[in-house]
Amino acid sequence: MKPHRLTLTNALVLGYGLDKQIHNIYNPRPATQTELEAYHDHDYIEFLSRVTPHNQNDMRGMIESFNCVEDCPIFSDMYEFCKMYAGASLAAARKLCAGTTDIAINWSGGLHHAKKAEASGFCYVNDIVLAILELLRFHPRVLYIDIDIHHGDGVEFAFYHTNRVMTVSFHKYTGDFFPGTGKLDDNGTGPGKHFCLNVPLKDGIDDDMYLATFKTVIEDTVASFRPTAIVLQCGADSLGCDRLGAFNLSIAAHGECVNFVRKFNVPLLVLGGGGYTIKNVSRCWTYETSVLVGAAIPDELPVTMYDSFFRETKWKLHPPLTGRVENQNTAASLQRITIAVRNKLRYLQGAPSVALQDIPPDLAGWLADEERSREEKDEERSTATAGEARDDRSIARNEFFDGDRDNDADTADEVPLSQAAPAKPKASASTAGRKPRGGRRGRGRGRGKAVVSATESIASVASAAGDDDEEADEPSPVRTTRTRGRGRGRGRAKTTRSQAKEKEKEIEDTPPADDTSMDVDQEQLDV
């Protein structure tokens, strides 16, 4: 309930210079009401959009029916806040679908308790479900992994009946710890039977036990389910010394879980979640940002305007967080859990496939009455460069450098000098050939006369210097007479039949260019 932890995270990320390692940082638009209603009920979203701290007394009955009490209070700009973090998760999912990126991070998301028509556990809109629904438009199988100390009940409930989403939650389970769900025997139902995995843990689990269980379960799950996309919820309340948590995990072990999932090289969406000791949450997510971008950062925290938050731990990234709670887990209990998970995976009988079907409508249907940005249109077409506007010039792998006279970087329309038409070696300045420009037609300022072979393409080029530019795109009749150009200056060149054929071939090989002006200043070329 305190977005200030995101401010601390951003300050540390910028202080370490990790923003230089991130390819793109976006400020996505808020989610629309129609996008939120892709999962949530219309009446519930209408209620969120109308309720405020000033009118909550008049809407007391609706507030109680939608469970906006106790740990889900009404606060100012609540609906705008929900639209912002949900819109960020949806934008991240769209970029993964479009191929813009292979890892997308939204630390403000990960609110995994929200139900279809009910708020729960500080969560009002389930951005995880909305993002997975977006991923399912292009990906046949999505794996959801939850390392929050609380059970990811909202996501599990949403996909309890489908085999296209495998949910795996590592959480504390005692029967009365919130939300009270997530038993080992929970299994899914219908087509989703055996596609719901829970790893219930007890208080005080340490790094070694947690990592051994996590890697065993996730490795077996990925091998059996073979996901084409992964969503990882990184709730930091599973760290030691959390105000609500009771585990003994260090920041390094929490980050190792993220690193282990990253190494599968599957499109990955990383989200935030719980975490109620703010200084530890910001350190954890900063460290995991460095893990995701592949950068090594020192243990000494950078100097920021929030140094007072970290004075007690002497401004360290990895303070001691373990050993505060007695470990009630045993090797036998964890082995029983891993065996139960493996038995469930045996029933999968291979990764489920998806029949050929139309892609469900996304922005094209939801935002029909709203203006879509160019970036979102590119993403809808699944282009690999959606939203990546760069100022520097990208160079293709097959591009070559043609000596000092190669000025392709300045003018993309020019043909390299090595491809220019040959001229007679003893030609004077008045008869020197001009450097041709790329495109279907060429226009020069000089008035030239040439005797060319009776070919349609050469005649078409000759007619391009006529008075009407529109007529230049139409094929010209065969000409064997002189052609006249428009403009200042005079130039004459005689072309033999063999040279005309070579010039015709080079013009045909020249790629078409935009209909921009082809005028060039007179210059003498030393051919």
Contact by Cβ (8 Å): 21, 295: yes
The answer to whether 113 is a known catalytic residue is yes
HSE of 361 in the Cβ direction (CA atoms, 13 Å)? 9
Tell me the C-alpha distance between 485 and 464, whole Å: 9
Q: Residues 281, 233: contact at Cβ < 8 Å? A: no
Q: 103-106 and 196-201 as β-strands: parallel, antiparallel, unpaired?
A: unpaired
Q: Extract the tokens encoding 282.
A: 């910001």
**Short-list 521, 4, 15, CA closest to 317:** 15
Residues 6+ apart with CB under 8 A from 357: none
Residue 349 CB: number of other CB atoms within 10 A? 9
- 50: helix, strand or coil: helix
Taking alpha carbons only, the member of 167, 132, 163 closest to residue 38 is 132
**Phi, psi dihedral angles at 492 (to 5 degrees):** -130, 140
Q: Which residues of 52-86 are buried (b: 16+ CB within 10 A; e: fewer)?
A: eeeeeeebeebbeebbbeeebebeeebbebbbbbb
**Cβ-contact 489, 445 below 8 angstroms:** yes
CB 66 within 8 Å of CB 119: yes
In whole angstroms, give the CA distance from residue 199 to residue 193: 16
* Cβ neighbour number for residue 527 with a 10 Å cutoff: 14
- Residue given tokens 């949450």 in the structure block: 281
Catalytic pick from 40, 54, 112, 113?
113
- In whole angstroms, give the CA distance from residue 9 to residue 285: 7
Residue 525 tokens read as 């070329």
User: Sign (positive/negative) of CA torsion 203, 207, 213, 218?
Assistant: positive
Enzyme catalytic residues: 113
